[in-house]
Structure 1
Amino acid sequence: MGKKLRRSSTNRMIAGVCGGIGEYFDIDPTIIRLLYVLISIFSAVFPGLLIYIIAMFIMPREH
Structure 2
Amino acid sequence: MERRLYRSQQDKRLFGICGGIAQFLNIDSTLVRVGVVILTVCTGVPILIYLLLAMIMPKEPRWSDAADGYDIYERPYKSQPQARMSDLDSEIDRLEKRALVQEVQRLRTELGKYKNV
Question: TM-score normalised to the size of structure 2?
Answer: 0.51
Alignment-derived partner of residue 27 in structure 1: 27
RMSD: 0.7
Q: Whose helix fraction is larger, Structure 1's or Structure 2's?
A: 2
- The 4+ residue runs of structure 1 with deviation greater than 2 A are none
User: 1:62: Cα distance to partner?
Assistant: 0.4
Alignment-derived partner of residue 53 in structure 1: 51
Alignment-derived partner of residue 5 in structure 2: 5
Q: Answer 1 or 2: higher relative contact order, Cα 8 Å, separation at least 6.
A: 1
Aligned mates of 1:60, 1:49 — CA distance in 2: 18
User: 1:59: Cα distance to partner?
Assistant: 0.6
Amino acid in the other structure paired with 1:50:
L
Question: TM-score normalised to the size of structure 1?
Answer: 0.92
> Percent identity over the alignment?
34
Aligned residue pairs total: 61
Q: Check if 1:62 corresponds to 2:66.
A: no
Aligned mates of 1:48, 1:62 — CA distance in 2: 22
Aligned mates of 2:40, 2:15 — CA distance in 1: 17
* Structure 2 SS opposite 1:32: helix
Larger gyration radius, structure 1 or structure 2? 2
Amino acid in the other structure paired with 2:23:
E
Aligned mates of 2:55, 2:27 — CA distance in 1: 22
